[in-house]
Amino acid sequence: MAAVNILETKGLTKSYGGVHANKDVDFVLLRNKITALIGPNGAGKSTFVGMVSGRTLPTRGTVHFEGQDISALPAHKRMQLGMAYTFQITSIFPGLSVEDNVSLAAGRKLAHDKAAHAAKTVAVLEKIGLSDRRDQIASDLSYGHRRVLEIALGLAQDPKLFILDEPTQGLAEGEVDAFVALMRGLAKDTTILLIEHNMRVVADTADHVTVLDQGRLLASGSFDEVQANTAVQSAYLGTPANV
């Protein structure tokens, strides 16, 4: 049976000239759940996710993925193990159709099997809700649909862990609603780490919430538990009535 935690960090620390961007972060990511990572600007979220994804090497501490110590592995090696990060995913090809964009992403793993490659492309388009736009040129998509296409490129790689960095930024209210529904569907098949400032999105999607502040783990729990935490209220959220 697979372990409950797909990823764990122990004492994860990153220092720049003696200044700690993150310090001694012990973090667990629950398999097949949506975990939201929140915190004020400058809390260390980007540095932490950089260390998890392999873009940033830690000063000390460890990252374990499915029981394997990946602390020294570069980003592309972590992607081969089943991690995908929207920052790392190649930008969409604006001159190609939606279908061709997804096909190219799927081809990274299935280029040797044409039938499986074609089936994967169709399945991702259906799952992500872009089947009716398959022939549309990517540059003609709305901003919201381009963001969805970026997610599709990641899904085409069958990630075990999908890290989404501010995916709702710039989306209209209706697009945010569609994104929430999409996330709930995706969590059935993959683990999601969501870095998000929109607390409505966090409340509506996250099974678990972790709060960083000044580079340290401040609190962790359900959204209601985190929202009621006085330290979190002081550092970031304010009182529940104001959230």
CA dihedral 130, 144, 196, 164 (to 10 degrees): 40
What integer pLDDT is reported at residue 242 of this predicted model?
A: 46
Q: Report the 3 state secondary structure along the chain.
A: CCCCEEEEEEEEEEEECCEEEEEEEEEEEECCCEEEEECCCCCCHHHHHHHHHCCCCCCEEEEEECCEECCCCCHHHHHHHCEEECCCCCCCCCCCEHHHHHHHHHHHHHCCCHHHHHHHHHHHHHHHCCHHHCCCEHHHCCHHHHHHHHHHHHHCCCCCEEEEECCCCCCCHHHHHHHHHHHHHHCCCCEEEEECCCHHHHHHHCCEEEEEECCEEEEEECHHHHHHCHHHHHHHHCCHHHC
- The rounded distance, in Å, linking the Cα atoms of 50 and 173 is 29
Predicted confidence at residue 87, as pLDDT, reads 61
Quote the pLDDT of residue 144.
86
- 0.85 surpassed by pTM: yes
Instruction: Look at the chain and count its residues.
Output: 243
Mean pLDDT is lowest, of 2-11, 28-37, 84-93, 167-176, for: 84-93
> What pLDDT, on a 0 to 100 scale, did the predictor assign at position 240?
56
- Residue 128 structure tokens: 């992500």
Rounded percentage of the chain residues whose pLDDT exceeds 90: 64
Residue spans of the domains in the chain: they are: 1-82+159-243, 90-158
Q: CA 109, CA 136: separation in Å to the nearest integer?
A: 24
Higher pLDDT, 186 or 100: 100
Q: In the prediction, which pLDDT does 241 show?
A: 45
Average pLDDT over residues 177-194: 89
At residue 108, φ and ψ (nearest 5 deg) are -60, -30
At the top level of CATH, the class of 1-82+159-243 is alpha beta
230-242 pLDDT, tens digit per residue, is 999 988 876 554 4
* Residue that has been written with the tokens 């620390």 in this structure: 13
- Tell me phi and psi for residue 67, to 5 degrees: 85, -5
Identify any residues that bridge with 165 across adjacent strands, giving them in sequence order.
195
pLDDT above 70 as % of the chain:
95
Higher pLDDT, residue 138 or 4: 138
Average pLDDT of the chain to the nearest whole number: 90
At 222 the pLDDT is 95
Residue 175 has pLDDT above 90, yes or no: no
CB 130 within 8 A of CB 122: no
Which position has the higher pLDDT, 171 or 64? 64
Condensed to tens digits (0 to 9), the pLDDT of residues 101-142 reads: 999 888 877 777 888 888 999 999 998 889 999 999 999 998
Non-local (6+) Cβ contacts of 92 within 8 A are: 101, 138, 146, 149, 150, 153
